[in-house]
Amino acid sequence: MADLHELSALEQGALLRSGKISSVELTDHYLDRIERADHDFVAGAFARLDPDLARARAREVAAVGPVGEGASPLAGVPTAIKDLNLTAGVPTEFGSPAFRGFVPEVSDAVTLAMEAAGLVSVGKTSTPEFGSPCYTEPEGRPPAVTPWDTSRMAGGSSGGAAAAVAAGLVPVAQGSDGGGSIRIPASCCGLVGLKPTRGRISGFPMYGDPIGLSTSGSLARTVADAAALLDVLAGRRVSDPSWAPEPSGTFLEATRRDPGRLRIARFVQPVIADVEVDPACRQAYDDASHLLADLGHVIEDVPVPLPPDAVGTFEICWAVLTAQSVTPLSADQRVLLRPLTQWLGERGAAVSAPDFGLAIGALRRYAADALVGLAPYDAVLTPTLATPPLPVGAIRDDEDPAADFEAQKRFTPWTSAWNVTGMPAISLPLHWTSEGLPVGVMLAARPADEETLLSLAAQVEAASSWHDRRPPLW
């Protein structure tokens, strides 16, 4: 039998259900891999490791024995929780020295869902301060790097989760995505990164995003694993302000269906920045287009669905979201914040309440126009990023936060479009450069239609060759 970590998360779950291994054995396997892995890589991927808590949790799951029908196929499988997600009794620092030592008394909906499904968390994955930047270089900690080249970034803000999954330190992990923060690290680390539709996953109890940009989602090595984790995370609470309609079945079942012949729009022109697309990213986009056509789908070029004016409106909303995190802090906490966070917070705090309301309304109108324009299509294809993963520090600019922000836009000129529209989107690892760096392509689907998106993604996966690729740091 292959080493346990070579198996998909679902294959590991099947072994657990068969009784051939226990959750304790599987958890020990991953904790041993983490212990033997490169120390700096591990320190960049994880904000905190808690082997004792993980083993105790695994023993609880093992005591239940093989799980029955209706239970998650990921029950007993190790994972990790992003440092932005409240976890009762476990330090949760939001990637910021300002919250060093903070221990929440409650868990959020994501943590509760993963615990209820029987997943075993080995710790908290690293994130940049408040999850804002598209790189994961938190203050006072090693950066999260891609295991394909440890001199290059893992992306952000779910960079720690992506690095951990891509290096085989956990088989699957959740992330969160307000402007690309799942799909960006998925592209940098050669993974599947799934951002679900708006309202699919509860924001309980914080409900900190009144705009509706952010959601949690999946980082995995296979489409089926990503779908199975979405089945765990999905669901609404009675307190939620909005929710997506129930799917026809499980999202995992959707990956086993033939999507049929789809009409797929595509565009390569950047949305939020005037930037030249790296040849490797353009090649990945063109190759994906040919692959989709070979699979029988109709591919049509379309104009960019969001106008340039939408960019400034998005930036207003993004800055206000940062200000929401900064404003309640004490003076002693604020001096610990990174220059980018301070700059964005000040920019957001300068926006009046009426102007913020007008910006939200404008953003929703831009989204409405885009949704109308894309309504004839079952899916939309773009590159995920404008370049392969960049060297660590290539974007971060503490001396000039405005330049830092502009560099982030140039690196990620497509991902935030689907946060604005609320459409589900997935990054797939379909290309590698001649230097061995992963390059993702992105597919989006109609709102609340993750089933079509996952069915299509699984079809693409079956026709591709990423399954057997392993990074040098494996």
Q: Which residues contact 390 (CB under 8 A, 6 or more apart)?
A: 135, 152, 153, 411
Catalytic residue among 23, 82, 107, 427: 82
Catalytic residue among 23, 157, 218, 416: 157
Tokens of 219: 């980082």
Q: Is the CB of residue 380 less than 8 Å from the CB of residue 374?
A: yes
State how far the Cα of 10 lies from the Cα of 25, in Å rounded to an integer: 16
Q: Catalytic annotation on 82? A: yes
Catalytic residue among 23, 72, 181, 455: 181
Tokens of 79: 């994972």
Distances (CA, A) of 204 to 106, 188, 263, 268, 333: 10, 29, 36, 36, 25
Burial group, residue 451, by CB count within 10 angstroms (0-12, 13-18, 19+): buried
Q: Is the CB of residue 113 less than 8 Å from the CB of residue 235?
A: yes
Q: Catalytic annotation on 157? A: yes
Q: Strand pairing partners for 82?
A: 125
Q: Catalytic annotation on 22? A: no
Q: Strand pairing partners for 172?
A: 220
Strand order across the 192-195 sheet: 172-177, 215-220, 192-195, 425-432, 438-445, 379-383, 263-266, 298-301
Q: Which residues contact 449 (CB under 8 A, 6 or more apart)?
A: 197, 378, 424
Q: What is the residue-wise DSSP string for 265-278?
A: EE--S-SSS--PPP
Q: Is the CB of residue 184 less than 8 Å from the CB of residue 156?
A: yes
| SS3 category, 345 | helix
Q: Which helix (H) or strand (E) holds 30?
A: helix 23-36
**What's the DSSP call for residue 105?**
S
Helices and strands (DSSP H and E) totals, the chain: 17, 11
Q: Which helix (H) or strand (E) holds 178?
A: none
Q: Is the CB of residue 136 less than 8 Å from the CB of residue 92?
A: no
Distances (CA, A) of 114 to 194, 204, 323: 16, 14, 29
Secondary structure string (H, E, C) spanning 381-409: EEECCCCCCCECCCCCCCCCHHHHHHHHH
Backbone angle region of 101, left / alpha / beta, with phi > 0 → left and psi within -120 to 50 → alpha: left
Kindly list the catalytic residues.
82, 157, 181
